[in-house]
Chains A and B, each alone.
Chain A
């Protein structure tokens, strides 16, 4: 009769509960205590409807019972005016209740398919779930707000000591990201939110995802963090600009924007995004796809904003003066590509990575375009007004200095001109090996050729062929000097240098020939002629010589040879040519009996005089024209 005994016990237990419990709830609690005490006092058996044997009704009753208690607990929190998460005991209790609710619903859902009455009970449970989730969502939102306000804490070793010296980057809602000087050092780690808050957020997210409310959770999370990032970017000085804005901007303003962008891009890719990734991973720990998706939503807008600017710069006009700043952007993108790759490594962010690569390549295109524009500028430079005195043409100076400066970024330019499709990392191969066969070398050689052609065309505007040669000499010399003096030398190669040095020498020879051959010819003696004829011809010749020499000196002293060494070389070679010939001529002149007496009358110049006059050559009008520039 154990069963009967049990029945008696159950009846007693029920009676006690009913008498002592002043209301249904208390009675319930008492029954709960009984059932915890002894497995025989199971809730089903103790319930009022315990007499009936219908399993489903009993099941439903049991469910209702559990739900009643959960309802009480949860509704209390849901209705509360103050945030639940202000008190960790409250939040724990609340979460426990929610966990139980979710588990209950899950368990009973299986039965609900078969039984409509259980289904009806579940409706109430689902309702409760929804209320709880709404509340959790609100708490989540307010925690995110609260967390954002209490600044990103710097978690690195140097936090305390560097407090005074640190320069602060303003980032986020009242928050600041301390960074060590100089801004070039991006090797710091920040926590986007205080640790405690992150944990709370995670607890909440866990339940929301478990209850099927993951989308809402992700949405709230992403909205806040996205806004934070956008504000950070704005505080870093990075503006939202359209392509047209960028194109219309005066170059100086654009240079400033580029500077700000470089800093902004570095901070964002190296510090802010990794920090967001860590945050995402912690808040959505265990739900990798929610984490990945949220992260993409958070970063998408800022990334696109940054890339749009770089794109706008790449698409802009190709004025050669812009090369250096565009190179800066190119190099920044190149150096950040590994960051793009590591931080956007999941499937949802793949497109951002690809965008970055596309835009980096466009920057390369832009740089190639600039060189093309430079080529056009050179080729189109008109050959109308000759430089007075055959001196250095401004275009020579401009191009050579430009190329010298450009070649300081040789490595980047090599990349640009190799047009390789491989992403990211710059080649570490020794550049000396590439030498004169790389695409960059070819490009440089081509520009030099264009410059030479243009100069040749310009030289033809001089009527005097000697001046032609002087002009070519000057410019050629300058070019060779500048090439030897920079990376251009190794790019163009020794052969090129040798060849062009020889060209300059050739012009020297040509100059000499066209200027001085005639005059020299006057100093030649015709020995076959009779002495009396010789005497007169010598007199004439000397007269002609004096005249020609005078003329040459007059005009050629206004000519310019800027390079001191070249100038000396020229004078020396002229002297070498002229002086001995003159000396011997004069010597013979003086020995001619008819002339000898009045020699002084005819001989205008002594050898020293000749030398002196020659020394005055190539000074340019108005004295010295300055040395090399």
Chain B
């Protein structure tokens, strides 16, 4: 999201407060509104700064994305959205008579329509979380096999390997899964009664709740459509509220984009056209920075084909790959070194599982909460715009 200097007249965004033309009786209201709008900008900025800093190393020089896109971070992001949404809602409520006047009325109903598009993203993300849960279950099998009080034998390794293979297939990016036909290595029996490609489907075992033609990338593009910083005359005409609308639109876009980046979903394209954010908006810098960091992450060689940028997904990939390699290299009976190595990998895996076990359910609940709030806010907004409209 490129940020530039706002190219508008002096009565533009740089001077939200001063943009009011002294139109008589509206003046007192304008002051209250001014304060609210400024507070809103500050709060959004604060929250995004927090998201930025919580995910980078303490030292400013190091761009450590340690926690960026982890389950906890995503949960925080959703909280940020909910807070921003609430505040925006309050502002609209406090100034509902202004919301009825053009051009603000169009802008606000435009925001509501846009927010409906985000609902499908929420649903897709819920599916994605469920898919991660299935992977977590496979990891648990690996843990049960190898994390024992007893010694590690061939049987346990075979069991772990089977689960790891299922996991690897399950994590194949959607585009690849139709062409690849993975055969599981069987080290016992040659029981090949008819095994058709359908069985491959069971490794994937989850289908999306949307049609095959639904595309996260397209949905994001639709959300991004027509999001643009307001022109100076619009700012004036709406007493600055147009900036708040632009802000919440940008927040909505960023949050849905980040969700799609993190969580597996159908047709997960991240090349969305983001609006130019005037640099003098306090949240421009942190949001832009996060956007860049996430985009960078998506282009990294080892993450380019990931099915989701969630940090825990990466951990699953790394740990399970390491475990697979280890399991393949193991000779029986196990040497003490190998055994120690196994226990270490198990420990890592256990950590990932734990994080998922604790994080996925709350994450799903939060995504659902975002869904409900968007719906509620839109319903209330439409109601209030409709009701007060007829007294002409």
Size category of the binding interface on chain A: 35 or more
Nearest residue (CB) in B for A145 is B198
Q: Is the interface of A mostly helix, strand, loop or mixed?
A: helix
Q: Is B251 an interface residue (CB 8 A)?
A: no
Interface-facing stretch out of A237-245, A473-481, A534-542, A599-607: A237-245
Partner of A365, one of B156, B189, B202, B379: B379
- B166 CB → nearest A CB, Å: 9
Give B335 Cβ to nearest chain A Cβ, in Å.
Answer: 15
Which residue from chain A places its CB closest to the CB of B203 in the assembled complex?
A: A223
Q: Are A315 and B211 in contact (CB under 8 A)?
A: no
- CB-CB under 8 A from B326, the residues of chain A are none
Q: How far is the CA of A223 from the CA of B166 in the complex (A)?
A: 13
B162 contacts which chain A residues (CB < 8 A)? 134
B386 proximal to A (CB < 8 A): yes
When the two chains form their complex, are residues B211 and A124 in contact, meaning their CB atoms are under 8 A apart?
Answer: no
Q: A residues within 8 A CB of B201?
A: 227
B190 with A376: CB separation less than 8 A: no
CB distance from B205 to the nearest CB of A (A): 5
Count class of interface residues, chain B: 35 or more
Min Cβ gap A98→B in Å is 14
Chain A nearest CB: distance from B265 CB in Å? 12
Is the beta-carbon distance between B140 and A362 smaller than 8 angstroms?
no
Q: How far is the CB of B114 from chain A (nearest CB, A)?
A: 12
Q: How distant is the Cα of A507 from the Cα of B191 in the complex, in angstroms?
A: 92
Chain A residues whose C-beta falls within 8 Å of the C-beta of B116 in the assembled complex:
243-244, 247, 315
Residue of A nearest to B390 (CB): A379
Is A219 on the interface with B (CB-CB < 8 A)?
A: yes
Contact A131 B193 (CB under 8 A): no
Is B156 touching A130 in the complex (CB atoms < 8 A)? yes
Contacting residues of chain B (340-392) with chain A, CB-CB under 8 angstroms: 372, 375, 378-379, 382-383, 386-387, 389-392
- Asked if A375 and B189 make an inter-chain contact with CB atoms under 8 angstroms apart, the answer reads no
Given the complex, which residues of A lie within 8 Å of B119, measured CB to CB?
243, 315
B193-A372 in contact (CB<8A)? no
Task: Identify which of A129, A219, A230 contacts B207 (C-beta below 8 A).
Answer: A230
User: Are A223 and B211 in contact (CB-based, < 8 A)?
Assistant: no
From B196, which residue of chain A is reached at the shortest CB distance?
A145
The secondary-structure label for the interface of chain B is helix
Task: Please report the C-alpha to C-alpha distance between residue A239 and residue B154 in the assembled complex, in whole angstroms.
Answer: 46
Q: Is the CB of B158 within 8 A of A130?
A: yes
B153 at the interface (CB under 8 A from A): yes
Within 8 A of B (CB), among A72-119: 78-83, 109, 112-113, 119
> Which residues of A419-456 have CB atoms within 8 Å of chain B's CB atoms?
none
Which residues in A have their C-beta under 8 angstroms from that of B387? 372, 375-376
Interface residues of A in 352-402 (CB under 8 A from B): 358, 362, 365, 369, 372-373, 375-376, 379-380
Cβ A375 vs Cβ B390 within 8 A: yes
Are the CB atoms of B219 and A244 closer together than 8 Å?
yes
A141, B201: Cα distance in complex, Å: 13
Residue of A nearest to B387 (CB): A372
Residues B207 and A127 in contact, CB atoms below 8 Å apart: no
CB atoms of B202 and A244 under 8 A apart: no
Bound complex: CA of A616 vs CA of B103, how far in Å?
Answer: 54
Whether A131 contacts B211 by the Cβ 8 Å rule is no
Q: Inside 8 A of A123's CB, which chain B residues have their CB? A: 150-151, 153-155
**What are the residues of chain B within 8 A of A315 when measuring CB–CB?**
116, 119, 375, 378
A299 to chain B minimum Cβ distance, whole angstroms, is 13
Residues of B142-169 contacting chain A, CB below 8 A: 144, 149-151, 153-156, 158-159, 162
Distance between A452 CB and nearest chain B CB, rounded to angstroms: 14
Q: Please determine whether B202 and A224 come into contact, CB atoms closer than 8 angstroms.
A: yes
- Decide: A127 near B189, CB < 8 A? Known: A227-B201, A240-B209: no
18 A-B pairs with C-beta separation under 8 A: A79-B188, A79-B189, A80-B189, A113-B149, A126-B153, A128-B155, A129-B155, A134-B158, A135-B189, A215-B140, A215-B144, A227-B202, A242-B214, A244-B117, A245-B211, A301-B209, A358-B372, A372-B386
Contacts beyond the supplied A126-B150, A239-B211, A373-B386: 12 A-B pairs with Cβ under 8 Å = A78-B191, A129-B155, A131-B158, A134-B158, A135-B188, A142-B193, A241-B210, A301-B209, A304-B209, A375-B390, A376-B387, A376-B390
The 4 closest A-B pairs by CB, nearest first: A130-B155, A379-B390, A127-B155, A123-B153
